[in-house]
Structures are given as structure tokens and as C-alpha cells.
Amino acid sequence: MKTINDKWLYFPIVILFIYFIYRLIDQSQIIYYFPFDYINDVSSYMAQLHFLKVCGFHNYCPYWYNGFIAFNFTSPALFFFALPFYYLFGDVKIALYTTTIISFILGFLFIYFLGNKLSLSKMQRIAFFIFFFGTANSIGNFIRLGRAHELFAWVWFIPFAFLMIHYMNKNLDRYSLFIIPLYSLVIFSYLSVGVLASLLFLGLFLVKNKKEKLYVILYFIASLLLISFWFIPFALNVFKSSSIPSMLQGNWILDFSTNLLFSHIAIFLLPIIFFTLFYFYWRSVNKDKKVLYFYSPVLILSLILFLRLIPFVPVFRNIFPDPYITFFLFFSILFFLGIDYRLFVRLSKFIPFLLIILSLISISVNLIHTPNFVIPDKNLKFDLDGLFSEFNGSFLLYGNYPITLYEKAVYSYAPIYYNLSTPFGWYPEVKDPNYIKKFSEIDLTNCDNFKRDLKYFNTTHVIGYTDFCDKINSCSFKFIDKRNDFCLYKIN
């Protein structure tokens, strides 16, 4: 079977790779500056890496939410991987950025050296990497937002998926046992990706004979047993001690606010592209029923996503849209590179131009929707540093902040650099929903209620910004200090 002409891939690879490197260089400023802006997930992971160091695994950690059990509900693989770099450099910023770079390198190596199992040429393997990691969705999530633990999961998903596809038409042999640790690593890195990856177990189960069906089931069970020291406590406690079940992150697919515009466009277009590419790929393999059966779980999920029925599907409704986009992007690339374009001569004439246009659209989306790294306002940081150095205890931050200051990022920064705690935090999954709900109901309108609620959450200090300083002062809290627009009060 003849697949895509490698020459068609040259220009898209070059322009996407140049932009990919540019964004990595731009994001490297994180080595020097702690991220405080609103486009920011990485500060949460920096704090959690710090918690692994100072609190330990499955130990009580007092810094967020009046205490929680560290990594009871956070997939910890990335943090274990990054911890030696934290010890080496003594800086969470450098440690997380280093692991991000290593993750991309591992992803490239997996694709390059395992891609021959799927009959991909060297140029197609390079294209696979840059189409998967260098396009708009991946740059936004893995580089700009800094979702290092999800990136780490997708890195391990690559060899896992390649092996599952490889054994679709081959008998399970001793090398197929690598499926077990690879799937364990996917779940151990990011559970949402593990849930999506489980569909490949179902697909492999559908195409195997009775004897090998049993092996597929045993492989799946063995993968969970391998990480049972984390997965069993997670499963036993998630419905009573975590907000994960109540968050229903899949409901975001029904939120049509403008900040999710590009996600909605992707969720609408990607399933159509995915189905179209699968159809051409399936025709290229002579409409092999085994291929159809193997991919049927993924096809069904794509249809459910397109119809926006995800919020009604248990487990899958707890996954927010971006992992779905990445999941279907992976298979769309795979099908695109596997089509026999000799069967579609008229179509193939447009492919080179279409690749160039899509590459430019991807970069344009990032230019419009994904801002570059924001260097923190040094004056705001200086003021906060001054206030943090003046007290010990548990604090909350209130006020109408500029876009260069994200409240949750401050709740990550203070524990790392000043050993301060907060009754709030930057990962609500680690606390039960009743706590999160009660915190959201803190009464800011009445001084007596405000003071009562702060004491209930063991808050010792409040930092106000601009007009909120007047509000705090009117409640007769003990004034400690004022730094420009920030003020510090103690709860008396």
C-alpha cells in the first residue's frame, strides 16, 4: 500500500516546527519568572511538586484546603519523574520546564523508533510528531498552560497505542506484555487519558479469539494491579473525599461562552474529520472488518462527542474537552498518514495545499488565542513578597486583580516560597465537594458573617487589593501593613 507522498510533508513540518521551537523558547522564561497570569495551570503543578517533596506521597499536607492527603486524587507519575530534577536544581520552575522538554523528546523517540511498526516512513514519523505536539491544541495545553502531567500521559499513550494497533492483526506474544506497564504509566500519569486509552483494550478484545480475549482482560487487570498502591486508595475514596465526581467537567461541552469558542469549533470539526479520514483509511485496507471492529469503540465515542452527549455518559462526563481533542487528533493523524492515495487521485491533488492551509490556521489560532508567556508585574510581586514576609499562618486574597495576577497562582506561590498555607488552593479535586461549596459561600457583604466564615476556615490573615482594602478595614480587622494597592490584615 502506498501512503502519502513524503514531499507533501516538508513545508508543514518546517513551519510548524519553527513555531513549536519559538513557543518553547518563549515559555522558557518560566525558568526565571514564576507564572502569575490567568493563562496558567502550571503553577498548580509546581506547588504539587513542592508538596511531594515536603509532605510526601499519601501523607497529610497542610498547605491547601485546611489539609489534604497528597496525591490521593492526583495521578503522580509526572511528579515522581520531576522530583529528582527539583532536588538537582532546587527550583520547581526549572524542574517542570525540564520535564516538559524531556517529555517532548521521549514523545519524538517513541514515534520515530516505533513508527516503523505501523509502516510509517521516517518523514511520516517526523510529521506525526509535529502534527501531534506542534499544532494549536498541544501548544496551548502543553506549552502555554503548562499541563505537564497530561503531556506525560500522552507520551506513554503513544507506545501503548502503537502496540495495541500492532497486535490487532498479530497474535499476542511475549513482547505484548509491554502493554501492561505502558497502560499503567498512562493511568499513573493522567487518569483522563487512561480512561480514553481503555477503549483500545475494548477494541483489541473485539478482534481477538476466545483465548486471546482472556489475555486482553488479564492485561487490563494486570495494568491496574501494577499501580494498585495508588489506584485502590483513589477508587475507594474518590466518591467520598474528592470533588472529581461532582465537577462533571464534561459539562463544559455545553458551555457556549466565548472563551471556549475554539474548543467548540474543534469539537464540531474534529469528529467529522476523524470519520472522514477513517472512511478513506478503511477503504485503503479493503474495508477490513477487523479494522472496523478494532476502532469501533473510538468511532462510537467520536459520534457521542459530536452529538454533545458526553455529559450523559458515566466516567467520560468527568473528562473536560481538551483530552478528547488530543485523543481524536492522534487517530486522525494516524489515518491520514495511512491512506492509500492512489485510490483517490482527485483528492490527492489537494492534499499538499490543504496541509499548508491547515498548518497556517493552526499557527493563526495560537497567535490569536494563545498569548505568549506573560512576565509578572515586578511591582505587584514585590508588594506581595513584602507582605508574605510579615506573617505566618493561613491567608486569603481578595480584590479585583489585573490580568497579570491570578489568585490561584498566588496560592501556589506562597506555600513554595514562604511556607504559608491557605484554606483555598489550586486543585479542588483534592477536597470533598461540601468543603468547596461552603468555601464558595463565604459572605463578603456582612462583616460579622465574613469574620465568622474566615474563622471557620482557620484563616489568620487577609490580603486585600485596591477597593477591598476599605472593605476589610471597615470590618475592624487588625491592620498589619500596606504595600501600594495591597493591604494585610490579621483576623482578630
Is 293 found in the same domain as 157? yes
Q: Contact at 8 Å (CB) between 130 and 17?
A: yes
Q: Please report which helix (H) or strand (E) contains residue 346, including its range.
A: helix 345-348
Does position 252 have pLDDT exceeding 90, yes or no?
A: no
- Residue 169 CA to residue 171 CA, distance in Å, equals 7
Q: Residue 41: inside a domain, yes or no?
A: no
What pLDDT does residue 249 have?
Answer: 83
Is 399 found in the same domain as 358? no
Express as a percent the part of the chain with pLDDT over 90: 87
Quickly tell me which residue has 498479530 as its cell.
Answer: 170
- Residue 233 CA to residue 225 CA, distance in Å, equals 12
* Average pLDDT, rounded, for the chain: 94
Q: How many domains does the chain have?
A: 2
Does position 124 have pLDDT exceeding 50, yes or no?
A: yes
Q: Residue 349: inside a domain, yes or no?
A: yes
At 337, is the pLDDT very low, low, confident or very high (cuts 50, 70, 90)?
Answer: very high
Q: Residue 336: inside a domain, yes or no?
A: yes
Q: Residue 173: inside a domain, yes or no?
A: yes
Provide the residue type at 179 as one letter: I
Instruction: Name the E strands within 334-425.
Output: 395-399
- Residue 75 CA to residue 59 CA, distance in Å, equals 15
Is 334 found in the same domain as 237? yes
Is 251 found in the same domain as 138? yes
Write the CA distances from 467 to 143, 385, 402, 459, integer angstroms. Answer: 35, 20, 13, 21
At 2, is the pLDDT very low, low, confident or very high (cuts 50, 70, 90)?
Answer: low
Q: Which residues pair with 462 in a beta bridge?
A: 396, 489
- Residue 460: which domain range? 378-490
DSSP states of 201-269 as a string? HHHHHHHS-HHHHHHHHHHHHHHHHHTHHHHHHHHHHHHHH-SHHHH-GGGGGG---GGGHHHHHHHHH
Is 155 found in the same domain as 83? yes
What pLDDT does residue 256 have?
Answer: 78
Q: Contact at 8 Å (CB) between 425 and 65?
A: yes
Is 412 found in the same domain as 314? no
Quickly tell me which residue has 493563562 as its cell.
Answer: 39
Query: What are the cell numbers at 17?
Result: 516546527
Q: Residue 65: inside a domain, yes or no?
A: no
Of residues 407 and 256, the one with the higher pLDDT is 407
What pLDDT does residue 464 have?
Answer: 95
Is 336 found in the same domain as 415? no
Is 257 found in the same domain as 130? yes
DSSP states of 65-109 as a string? TT-EETTSSS--HHHHHHHHHHHHHS-HHHHHHHHHHHHHHHHHH
Task: Give the pLDDT confidence of 436-462 residue by residue, as tens digits.
Answer: 999 999 998 899 999 999 999 999 999
Is 338 found in the same domain as 410? no
Question: Is the sign of the CA dihedral 47, 49, 52, 53 positive or negative?
Answer: negative
Residues 6 or more apart whose CB falls under 8 angstroms from that of 417 comprise 34, 388
- Say what the alpha-carbon torsion angle 122, 125, 129, 132 is, to the nearest 10 degrees: 150
What pLDDT does residue 386 have?
Answer: 96
Does position 258 have pLDDT exceeding 80, yes or no?
A: no
Task: Give the pLDDT confidence of 85-119 residue by residue, as tens digits.
Answer: 999 999 999 999 999 999 999 999 999 999 998 88
Burial of 469 (0-12, 13-18, 19+ CB in 10 A): buried
Q: How many other CB atoms are there within 10 angstroms of residue 481's CB atom?
A: 15
- Residue 285 CA to residue 194 CA, distance in Å, equals 28
Does position 246 have pLDDT exceeding 70, yes or no?
A: yes
Q: Contact at 8 Å (CB) between 328 and 270?
A: yes
Is 457 found in the same domain as 325? no
Q: Which of 369, 388, 414 is the last residue of a domain?
A: 369
Is 294 found in the same domain as 216? yes
What pLDDT does residue 261 have?
Answer: 79
Does position 1 have pLDDT exceeding 50, yes or no?
A: no
Q: What is the pTM of this model?
A: 0.95
Q: Residue 54: inside a domain, yes or no?
A: no
At 32, is the pLDDT very low, low, confident or very high (cuts 50, 70, 90)?
Answer: very high
In the chain, count of helices (H) and strands (E)?
22, 6
What pLDDT does residue 286 have?
Answer: 92
Q: Contact at 8 Å (CB) between 79 and 50?
A: no
Is 356 found in the same domain as 279? yes
Q: Which of 317, 347, 369 is the last residue of a domain?
A: 369
At 266, is the pLDDT very low, low, confident or very high (cuts 50, 70, 90)?
Answer: confident
Q: Which of 315, 343, 369 is the last residue of a domain?
A: 369
Of residues 30 and 247, the one with the higher pLDDT is 30
Burial of 271 (0-12, 13-18, 19+ CB in 10 A): buried
Q: Which of 458, 461, 456 is nearest to 477 (CA)?
A: 461
The whole-number average pLDDT for the span 150-161 is 98
Q: Residue 346: inside a domain, yes or no?
A: yes
Quickly tell me which residue has 480514553 as its cell.
Answer: 196
Task: Give the pLDDT confidence of 350-405 residue by residue, as tens digits.
Answer: 999 999 999 999 999 999 989 999 999 999 999 999 999 999 999 999 998 888 89
Q: Residue 76: inside a domain, yes or no?
A: yes
